[in-house]
Structure 1
């Protein structure tokens, strides 16, 4: 007659009916392995248990990586949807002033940024134009060469289509009273076609982590491409 305690008949029948349930229960498997190690004594090394611990640690790392990939995919999808909504809003206005006001209003809200500024280079002093004065909250007219200097901070370099960077504070010329609060920005260089000076679209944020050099720029480059083509219609 065995001295080992007998399992309850109902529990024993349930285990026999579904042994896979034990294998899939991590806590239960740990308890069984620990009981087996105790029964073997302290002088025996259970290589199977060690191997299982390592495999379990590797599985945990794979699951963490999987969750990170899924989260990144959702973030990218959300970012794509935001850019698409902003572009559709850009395409609605039929007048230039409305277009720029929407840029600084609803488009900025869709993009979840705190400030957006359009810089147009000019060889002439256009600041006296009443239309420009009415739109100075979103539009800045600058001298030729300003765009590349602003993007590169005056250092010799090849300007990139999109530059992301963190700030100690923003530019007074572009952000005005809000300059003290800007902590990161995206600079989108605009090409208006042959024979035209370049432009610049600057997106500013009070969040220092919204625009950093580690972020991808594909979506912003796409937004800039649509924006500059829309601008060519107004500048024609």
Structure 2
């Protein structure tokens, strides 16, 4: 009777012998077999091969996690590249400056999944600034020197073409009613050519992780260059 209970079912035994790889591919079964083997050897025997296998298994788990992270990052980068390409192609559509401003305020936020896009122009103050704001709410007029001061936050260093940062809230003078909800921004500095003051395109998001200083800026640098050339075209 005891022998019958201790024997493996004939059908199961036949299946295992026919395809033993099934056991090797099942981690739970392999752990149970190793544990049974350790128990059979007793506490005074150290199974170095078993220890080595455990460490290899841990390393394999870490490699698999890293592999999944790399794949996820690759998909995210691909998605970001596709969005920038769509935005760049859509930038070719406007036929006049008003259409370009409509692209910034309506199309671009949708394509890049943003909550706000603002164009900051230096040099227009007072009544002229108020007129610009009424005609194009997505355009903000500021005094000379504002762009570089905003990018460097008053520090004595040259502004970068692209600045990514997380913020507690947006500048009300730039983002208007949305300012309190903006928690990260990408600042694209535009060089409009000799004898012209720089401009700034602000991409604002309510997600604090949408724009992170640790993120790469290559795609946004490319897109900023396209915006820069488009602005120069309209300012001719």
TM-score (norm. length: structure 2): 0.92
1:77, 1:104 → 2: CA distance? 25
1:158-198 alpha-carbon deviations (Å, 9 max, x no partner) = 11111111112211211122222221111111112233221
Contact 2:129 2:142 in 1 (8 A): no
Residue in 2 aligned with 1:175? Answer: 175
Contact 1:100 1:135 in 2 (8 A): no
Q: How many residues align?
A: 234
**Secondary structure at 2:58's aligned position in 1?**
helix
2:129, 2:37 → 1: CA distance? 87
**Secondary structure at 2:128's aligned position in 1?**
coil
**Secondary structure at 1:189's aligned position in 2?**
strand
Residues 127 and 189 of structure 1: CA distance in aligned 2, closer, same or farther (over 3 Å): farther
Residue in 1 aligned with 2:14? Answer: 13
**Larger deviation, residues 146-155 vs 193-202:** 193-202
Contact 1:163 1:186 in 2 (8 A): yes
- Over the residues paired in the alignment, what is the CA RMSD in angstroms? 2.0
1:153, 1:130 → 2: CA distance? 25
Structure 2, unmatched stretches of 5+, are none
2:82 is aligned with 1:77: no
2:223 is aligned with 1:223: yes
| Structural mapping, 1:24-173, within 5 Å | 24-122=25-123, 125=125, 127-128=127-128, 132-173=132-173
Structure 1, unmatched stretches of 5+, are none
Residue 225 (structure 1) shift: 0.8
Residue 8 (structure 1) shift: 2.5
Residue 55 (structure 1) shift: 0.6
